[in-house]
Amino acid sequence: MSLDVALTTDMATCHALRRVVFIEEQNVPEVEEVDGRDGDALHILARLDGQAVGCARILIAGETGKIGRVCVLRDLRGQGIGIALINAALAALRNVDGVTRAKLGAQTHAIGFYEALGFVAEGPEYLDAGIAHRDMARAL
């Protein structure tokens, strides 16, 4: 099996993945998932043996890169694709001048996953699209 994770401009594929995971599986309202910020972001796409299986986006504000919209197709979770997406996002952020920190809003069930990648939870739990989250951050 060959996993390729890289920056992409293939927004149609990223949107299709996000629709399956967030809108269809997790019942996130489409108006919240499609927030109009994709044009301002960097996007990462994961392909397994050529098939799109996950993606993430990065929004940059000052010295912070916010990693979000991280998704992997349900049947392929637990195989390292999410780790590869986050590592690719961190690598992309290291190549942006002036960015020194990465942050994200983690679904609470995934806090341990992000902690293993060096993120530390900050602040209280909150609801985003009806799903419990906590902010997490790490230095680059």
User: What's the confidence (pLDDT) of residue 114?
Assistant: 97
Contact (Cβ atoms closer than 8 angstroms) between residue 76 and residue 57? no
pLDDT digits (tens, 9 = 90+) for 79-90: 999 999 999 999
Query: In terms of C-beta density within 10 A (0-12 exposed, 13-18 middle, 19 or more buried), how is residue 45 classed?
Result: buried
Distance (Å, rounded) from C-alpha 6 to C-alpha 114? Answer: 20
pLDDT of residue 113: 96
CATH number at residue 96: 3.40.630.30
d(CA 47, CA 81): 9
Whether 1 shows a pLDDT value over 90: the answer reads no
Closest listed residue to residue 82, CA positions, set 109, 120, 121? 109
| Placement of tokens 């401009």 in the chain | 9
Percentage helix, strand, coil for the chain under 3-state DSSP, each rounded to 5? 35, 40, 25
Distance CA 91, CA 84 (A): 10
pLDDT at 36 over 90: yes
The domain of 129 spans 3-139
Q: How many structural domains compose the chain?
A: 1
What pLDDT is recorded for position 83? 97
What pTM was estimated for this model as a whole? 0.95
71 forms beta bridges with 55
